Structure 1
C-alpha cells in the first residue's frame, strides 16, 4: 500500500513527542431510516486517549480556557442493515467562541491517514483553528475502524516491532515469498481479531456516518475541513449527499482518479521531489551541509547508508536496531514537513556515525508507536480501510514487472513503495472499486487546496479532484510551498482564502496562487 497520506499536523505532533523521548533517552437525501438521528449526544470531559488512539494525557484547554468535550454517537455497523447491530463512534468538540448569533454550526475535521484519530489530533492543533472557532464548534471524530470507534486490531506490540523492521524491499529469489508470508500473517491476524468490523470500514461507510453526525449535531448542512485522506472522504460524502454539503475545504488533496498502483507511483515521485528539495536546501546554505557536499552527494550518501543497513543494521532505540526499512520509513516521515528537515539532517549525521535513534524515532512516528512500545491502531486501520476501498490485489510478479518504472520515479523510495502494493495480499474482504467516485453535481462550492511541494499527495491531485467533482463544484487554490498540506504551513494567503470562505462564504477566484 502507499505510504499513509497523513496530515502534516498529526505527523508533526507524534514525531515531536517521539523525538523528544528518543533524544532524552448517491443522493442528497438524509439517512433518517435508521432512527438514529434522534439520539442526543452526552458531552462530557474528555478522558485520556486510549492506546488505540496513541495514548497520552487528556487534552488541555484551549489558550482562552475553553475545555474540550467528548461524546459517543451510535451508528449502524452495516449501513445496508440500519436497524441491526450498532457501533460507537468517538467524537470531540470545542464550542464556538463567537456567540450564538454568529455561530454557523459545526465544522467537522478529518485529518487523514486513513487511520488517524481525530479525537487526539484536533486538540493537539486546535489553536491553529482558533479563528474558525469564532463561528463554528470545532468537531472531529475517530472514523469507524480507528481508535475508539470499533478500532481494528491485528498483531500485538511485539509482533508489530518485528513486522515493521522486516526487509520490505526483496532483492533475491527467496525474500519476496518471505514478505508475502509476513503480510498474509498480519492480515490474517486482522481478520481473526476484527473480522466482524472489517467489511464495514470503507470510506462510503464513514461518509454515511458523517451525514448521521451532521443530523445529530443539529446542522442542516455539513461544513467540513478535510486534510489528506480526509479530502477523499469529503469527496465521497459530496458524491453521496451533494445537497447536504455546506462550506467545505479539501487540503493536501488525494487524487481520486488513481488506483493503488498509480497512487504509489505518484508518491514515489512526490517523496523523491521532497528529497531533492531537502538536498538542495541543505547544500545551498552558507554553512556546510553536514550530510553531503552537493545535492547529488547527499542522495548518494543516503543510498549508501540504506545499502549498508540492509547488510548490517545499527543500534536504534534500545533494544531495537535500525534496519533499512525503518530508516527508509523515517526518512519519508521527515519529508512530510520542511519543519522536520533539521531532524533528518541530525538523524543522518547520527546514522553515519552508527547511531540510529533519531531515524528510528521518525519511523516509529510513521508507524504509530509510542516511546513506551505501545502502538496505536493507525496502521491496522490504514490497511483495513484501504483494502476495503480498493479492488486491485497485486502479486509479487506484478511488483517485479513494475520495479523499473518505480525506480525511475524514485531511486530511493521506488522499491519501497512498489513492494508496498502487496499490502492487501490475503485480505479477508474484497475491495469496493478501482478508485472512489467523487462526482458531486449540485453540491455547494468546495475549496480544493494543492501544494506544489507535497510529497504524500502530489500537487497534480488537486486539479484531478476539481475535475472529478464536476463543473461548478471544485475551486482550485495553489500553494507554492513544501510539506504535506497548506493551511498548517501558516501562509497568510492560504489562511485568508480558507478563512474567508469558511467564515464569510467568500469563494476565492478560481486559480488563485499563494506563495
Structure 2
C-alpha cells in the first residue's frame, strides 16, 4: 500500500513508463580519510534490480557519457570512524569552457526512495543549459538502489501487497490491512535491520555535505525536487554557511506532520482531479468520460466502488482492484501529459479492461513489465519512518476519516489509511516535522505550482517562512502537474537558469504562467 509520501515520487516512474532536528552547524566529518577520498569514475553499469533494472544510460546528444562512482560514507554518522557504506553517484561533465565551470550541481528528484542514478539520465536533456557551467550529479541516497538498499519482501509478495484492500470497510478488512503492514515492516527489519536506523533525511544531508567536499566544491550547488526540497531544507539547516546556489521545486511543506501532509495531499489530488475533469469537459470535442465535470468524477467514484467487490482483469494474471485503480489514477495526475492516458484508461476500465490503470499503478509502485520491483517502496517506508515520530493506530485513522473524506471523496480513505505504514516500525522516528530554519544561508529559490497534486502549492510559502528571513525567494508557477521546471515554462526556466548559472536572484513573489 503506497504511503502518502510515496505519491511524491510518482512523476519519476511516470517518465519511465512511456529528520532529527539539530542545531545549525558546519562541522566536517571527523574521519579525514572520507573527505579526501578519490572517486573512481567509470562508465555506468546497467541499473540493478533495486534501481529498477533496464539498460545502461545512453550518452547525451552531444556525446557526453554518464559516469558512475561509489563514495564511502559512515554507516552511523554518530560514529564517523566506524563502519562505512557505499553511496552510488552519477555525473555528466560540464559542457562549457573550463574557466566558466562553477562546480557540481547535485540533484535529488524525490521520493523519498527514488534512485537519482537512474532518474538523472532520464531527464538529462532538460538540464542542457545548466550543464554548460556545472557537472550534473545525482546519487542514490542511503537505503536506495545500490546505496545499501533496504530490502523487505520479494516481488510476489509485493504484488499481493499492492493489490490488497487499502481502504478497509469492515473489522476483518482492517485486521487484514494491519497484519499485512506488520508483516511488511517485520520483513524490513529481518532483511535490513542494520541499515534501518541510519537512513534518515538528516543522515542523507550529512552525506551530501561529504559529497560536496569529495567533489571539490567549497559550497553546495543543489537542485531539489519534491522530497528533495525537504532534504535540501534539512541540509540548509545543518550547514547554512555551505549553501551556494539552491533551487527547491515542488516543495514539501516542512511544518506538517504526516497527518497534515496526507490531508494536504488529499486536497491536492482532489484539486488535480477537478482540473482534469474540467479540462476534459471544456474542450470542443465531446468528453468521452461524461457531460460535466461532476459527471466525470461521479463515474470514477462509481467505478472504484464497483472494483471494491468486483475487480476486473488488469495485466494478466493480476486483477485491477480498487486500490490499484486509485493508485493508477493518482499516478496519471502527476503530469498533464498523462491526462490522455488517464482518459483512455478510464474508458477501458468502464468496458471491463483494467490494463492501462494497472500499468499506471505499477509505475507508481516501481514494478517493471517483467514483474520485478525496484526497492522504492522499501526505501520510502524506511526513510519516512526514520524521520516521522508519529505512529498511528486504526482508531486514530477512523477518527480522522470524516476530515479526509471531506478533503477528497476519491482519495480521502486511501491517504488516511496510509498513515498506518509506520505502525510497529522497529526504529523510532526522529521528529514531528523537519527543521529547515537556515539563518545565514545564501538565498534559496523556492518554486510552488498552483496545480501540484502531491506537494500542494501552499507548501512553498510555508518553506519560505520556515527557512527564515532573507533566505527563501518565492516563485509561483500557475500550471498543472508535479513541479514547474520540467513544464518547460520559459519564465520558470529563465528564473532558475539565471540564478544557478549567473547568480541573478529573481524578485520574490514572481509569478509565471
Query: TM-score per shorter chain, which class?
Result: over 0.9
Measure the CA separation in 2 of the matches of 1:216 and 1:120.
Answer: 21
Contact between 1:8 and 1:337, CA under 8 Å: does it hold in 2? no
Q: Where in structure 2 are the equivalents of 1:144-293 lying within 5 Å?
A: 144-293=142-291
Query: In the alignment, which residue of structure 1 is the partner of 2:345?
Result: 347
**How far has the Cα of 1:14 moved from its partner?**
2.7
Seen in structure 2, the aligned counterparts of structure 1 residues 8 and 501 have a Cα distance that, compared at 3 Å, is: farther
SS class of match (1:370):
coil
Task: Select the residue among 74, 89, 98 that pairs with 1:91.
Answer: 89
Measure the CA separation in 1 of the matches of 2:301 and 2:374.
Answer: 30
Seen in structure 2, the aligned counterparts of structure 1 residues 5 and 413 have a Cα distance that, compared at 3 Å, is: closer
Task: Select the residue among 500, 503, 507 that pairs with 1:502.
Answer: 500
Q: Quick check: 4-13 or 61-70, which moved more?
A: 4-13
Query: In the alignment, which residue of structure 2 is the partner of 1:10?
Result: 12
**How far has the Cα of 1:29 moved from its partner?**
2.0
The Cα offsets for residues 162-200 of structure 1, whole Å up to 9 and x where unpaired, read as 000000001112211110000000000000000000000
Contact between 1:9 and 1:488, CA under 8 Å: does it hold in 2? no
Measure the CA separation in 2 of the matches of 1:99 and 1:73.
Answer: 27
Contact between 2:70 and 2:89, CA under 8 Å: does it hold in 1? yes
SS class of match (1:121):
helix
Measure the CA separation in 2 of the matches of 1:236 and 1:283.
Answer: 42
The Cα offsets for residues 267-295 of structure 1, whole Å up to 9 and x where unpaired, read as 00000000000000001111111111110
The Cα offsets for residues 50-106 of structure 1, whole Å up to 9 and x where unpaired, read as 010011000000000000000000000000000000000000000001121000000
2:34 is equivalent to residue 34 of structure 1: no
Contact between 1:91 and 1:142, CA under 8 Å: does it hold in 2? yes
Alignment RMSD: 0.8
SS class of match (2:368):
coil
**How far has the Cα of 1:11 moved from its partner?**
3.4
Seen in structure 2, the aligned counterparts of structure 1 residues 229 and 5 have a Cα distance that, compared at 3 Å, is: farther
**How far has the Cα of 1:7 moved from its partner?**
4.8
SS class of match (2:367):
coil
Contact between 2:103 and 2:135, CA under 8 Å: does it hold in 1? yes
Measure the CA separation in 2 of the matches of 1:65 and 1:138.
Answer: 15
Measure the CA separation in 2 of the matches of 1:7 and 1:304.
Answer: 27
**How far has the Cα of 1:41 moved from its partner?**
0.3
Measure the CA separation in 1 of the matches of 2:285 and 2:370.
Answer: 37
Q: Where in structure 2 are the equivalents of 1:51-66 lying within 5 Å?
A: 51-66=49-64
Query: In the alignment, which residue of structure 2 is the partner of 1:478?
Result: 476
Contact between 1:336 and 1:455, CA under 8 Å: does it hold in 2? yes
**How far has the Cα of 1:30 moved from its partner?**
3.8
Measure the CA separation in 2 of the matches of 1:212 and 1:33.
Answer: 11
**How far has the Cα of 1:28 moved from its partner?**
3.8
Query: In the alignment, which residue of structure 2 is the partner of 1:19?
Result: none
Contact between 1:283 and 1:294, CA under 8 Å: does it hold in 2? yes
SS class of match (1:447):
strand
Contact between 1:331 and 1:359, CA under 8 Å: does it hold in 2? yes
Measure the CA separation in 1 of the matches of 2:482 and 2:247.
Answer: 15
Measure the CA separation in 1 of the matches of 2:447 and 2:223.
Answer: 11
Contact between 1:389 and 1:433, CA under 8 Å: does it hold in 2? yes
Measure the CA separation in 1 of the matches of 2:132 and 2:27.
Answer: 28
**How far has the Cα of 1:4 moved from its partner?**
1.9
The Cα offsets for residues 111-134 of structure 1, whole Å up to 9 and x where unpaired, read as 000000000000011000010000
**How far has the Cα of 1:10 moved from its partner?**
1.3
Contact between 1:3 and 1:417, CA under 8 Å: does it hold in 2? no
Q: Where in structure 2 are the equivalents of 1:8-157 lying within 5 Å?
A: 10-16=12-18, 26-35=23-32, 36-157=34-155
SS class of match (2:284):
coil
Measure the CA separation in 1 of the matches of 2:348 and 2:71.
Answer: 47
Measure the CA separation in 2 of the matches of 1:88 and 1:5.
Answer: 27
Query: In the alignment, which residue of structure 2 is the partner of 1:23?
Result: none
Task: Select the residue among 407, 415, 419 that pairs with 2:413.
Answer: 415
**How far has the Cα of 1:2 moved from its partner?**
1.0
Size of the aligned set, in residue pairs, is: 506
The Cα offsets for residues 479-505 of structure 1, whole Å up to 9 and x where unpaired, read as 000000000000000000000000000
Seen in structure 2, the aligned counterparts of structure 1 residues 241 and 113 have a Cα distance that, compared at 3 Å, is: same
Measure the CA separation in 2 of the matches of 1:382 and 1:145.
Answer: 9
**How far has the Cα of 1:32 moved from its partner?**
3.2
Seen in structure 2, the aligned counterparts of structure 1 residues 9 and 125 have a Cα distance that, compared at 3 Å, is: farther
